[in-house]
Each structure stands twice: as C-alpha cells, then as structure tokens.
Structure 1
Amino acid sequence: MKLMGEQTAKFHFNPTSKTKDTLFMKGVIYSNTLKDIKEVLDENPQVTTLVMQEVPGSIDDEINLLASREIRKRNINTYIPKDGMVASGGTDMFLAGALRNAHKSAKIGVHSWSDGEKGGNEYPKDDSSHKKYLDYYKEMDIPTDFYWYTLDAADADNIHNMTKEEIKKYNILK
C-alpha cells in the first residue's frame, strides 16, 4: 500500500456550520498529527466528533497510536461519512472513538503491518512486536481476535475492506 506522496492529514471545520463541535479530517497520519490534533482540540474543546473523510493510513505508527489515544482521552466520537474511508492506521485511529459510527457506504480497510522485511503474520504470536497493537486494541475495547484477523486479512501491500459481518463480529461500531 503506497502512502508516500499522499496528502498529510489536515483538520478543518465546516465553514457553513454555526458550531464547531464536529471536526473533519482528511489525509495520511504523519509525524505532526499528534501536535496538530492536540492544538486544534485545545483551541476547540467543544469538539465532540471527528469525521474521518478519507484517512488511508499512517506513515508514523507511534504518532498514530499516541494521537488516537488523545482522541479517546478527550472522549471524542468518530464517524466515517457517506463514501468515506479509513484504512490501516486510519482504521486504528477510527477505533479510538468513544462512540464509533459509519455510513453504510463507508469503507473500513485492514491489512498486516510490515517492518520492511517481514509481515506481522510472519512473527510468532508470542513475539514482542505484537504487544503495542494488542495493548492498544485492549484499551479501545476491541477483541484481541481482531488484531490477528487484520494480519491475515491482507498483506502489507494490500487492503481488505471489511464486510458488514466482519464489522459486527469485531465490535467495530458502537
């Protein structure tokens, strides 16, 4: 899956809205995303929902997990709109929502991670490389089985868009 060259994540409000309780996000999660999201949320504490329009992944997994935890800490809901999509690290961030919802046409994509040499599913289940993701999913009330499923759903260069049945099985919406 190629993310290099794609637009980095930007946050904005709907200019026609009278309130600033809904924040919109579009682009790839990158090294400044934690700083960016903290700044916009500090300046707008009334935000209750993050609408993830098109978030195809992350190029900085550590920052992604920290930014995602910031969303959960602030009790912000996540939503994927009509024809919206999240994938890879974007899916991880979506899971941080206190409440998570998506339009029926939205896409939620998953795949295995890779360290550049091997995919996550090539490491033994007891390998320490899995810990940060298992801990994260546990914090987000996502079944551990979801993590193992993502590793086998598609390799690191591809994306599997979850079916309605898979979304329900793994408690993705709540």
Structure 2
Amino acid sequence: MLFSIGSCKKGYEARFGPFYILDDTTVVINGDMGSRVDNQLERLLNKYPEISYAIMEKCPGSRDDEELFKAARMIYNQGVHIHLPPNAKIESGAVDFFLAGTTRTMDGGAKMGVHAWSDGNASATEYPVGHEEHEIYIDYYSSVGYSQHEAENLYFFIINAAGPNNIHYMTAEEILTFGILNP
C-alpha cells in the first residue's frame, strides 16, 4: 500500500494556499484567498520564479483585500497570463485578482461574480463618491493597467452591481465594456 504525504492534490507538484503548481511555469488557483495570500504567493514565486501562466478555477473571493492586492500586484509584475477555463467561477476579490493578469482570457461558460464590499459596519455604497474608503480599490485597478477614469468606472460598476450579501455575474457585454479581458 502506498501513502502520499502532503496536502497536494493528485497531479500537482506543490501547494501554496489556493495555488497549486502544475509545472515550472503554470499555477492553478482554486479556493478562497485567505489573509496570508500575499505570503503564500511570495513563497511560490521564490520557489517557482518562471511562473508565467495561471488558471483560475473555483475561487469564491478573498478575506483581506489589502493582502489580496499585494499578491495580485506580484502577479502583475511577474507578467502572468491568467485564464478562466469553461468551468471557472470566480467571485468578489478573485475577480480583482484576475484583473492582475497582464493578459486575461476566458472560455465560454466561465463566470465572474462581483458585488459591493462591506467592512462589517458599512457597505461600499454607503460611502459617498470621493470618500477615502474607495481609494484603495481605485488605486489598485490603476496599478494593474487601468487608467484613472477606467478604474473609477469599473469600481463603481462593481459596487453598484450587487449588495455585499449578493452576487452579480457579469454579462458578456459588461466584460467587454469594462475591459475585463485583454487577449
């Protein structure tokens, strides 16, 4: 009888939180991006510096947007192409992470769900336009290639698409309008 030691799914070389190493250049992302996602990704990139392609599968979101944005900027600076296969379903902060792909593609059938964030006390839409609470998000979108105008349009679309306890799956027209894909 053979036993496998470790917490890696069959067929993967290694695992760093939601990041599964398929080979020296490819990572599969599956699962929630927790509060240590930036540390997990940094360890991954130190061990696998040739990563250039990411496949996002089932990613329900993030627990800490600031840590997520740090990780996403690493992906952007690495020049990683991110792809969504037909069965992919990414939501909330995972959509923000997807936007860090220097090239972003998706197959038909993949879903992207967005909604307003909540800090536990108030929802994003309860803060007026121009409030400092919005800036971290707008600054993030600008840091991954959106112009200031595009970043603001995308951000305010996202927070008005659905409340924090709901989700809106983007239509093909919305994906095109907001420049989500850039093949």
Please report the TM-score for the alignment, with normalisation by the length of structure 1.
0.89
Could you tell me which residue of structure 2 aligns to residue 161 of structure 1?
A: 169
2:95 corresponds to = 91
What percentage of aligned pairs have identical amino acids? Answer: 34
Is 32-41 or 147-156 further displaced after alignment? 32-41
The Cα of 1:10 is off from its aligned counterpart by 2.0
Q: CA deviation at 1:72?
A: 0.6
Which of 100, 106, 117 is the aligned partner of 2:104?
100
Residue 59 of structure 2 corresponds to: 55
Equivalent in 117, 141, 145 of residue 137 of structure 1: 141
The AA in structure 2 aligned to 1:90 is A
Larger radius of gyration: 2
Residue of structure 1 in register with 2:30 after alignment: 26
Distance in 1, Cα, partners of 2:104 & 2:17 = 20
Q: Distance in 2 between matches of 1:11 and 1:136?
A: 21
Q: Which residue of 2 aligns with 1:171?
A: 179
Distance apart, 1:91 and its partner CA:
0.4
1:13 match: secondary structure: strand
Query: 2:153 aligned with 1:149, yes or no?
Result: no
SS of the residue corresponding to residue 152 of structure 1 reads: helix
Q: Is the 8 A contact 1:9 1:55 kept in 2?
A: no
Runs of 4+ in 1 over 6 A off after TM superposition: none
Q: Deviations over 1:87-123 (max 9, x none)?
A: 1100000000010111111101110011112210111
**Aligned residue among 13, 25, 43 for 2:47:** 43
**1:24–1:51 CA contact under 8 A, matched in 2:** yes
CA-based RMSD of the aligned residues comes to 1.3
Instruction: State the number of aligned residues.
Output: 163
* Letter paired with 1:156: P
Contact 1:79 1:102 in 2 (8 A): yes
1:9 CA displacement:
4.2
Residue 54 of structure 2 aligns to a residue whose secondary structure is: strand
CA separation in 1, counterparts of 2:131 and 2:17?
31
Unaligned stretches of 5+ residues in structure 2: 1-15
Q: Which letter maps to 1:70?
A: M
Q: Which amino acid aligns with 1:166?
A: E
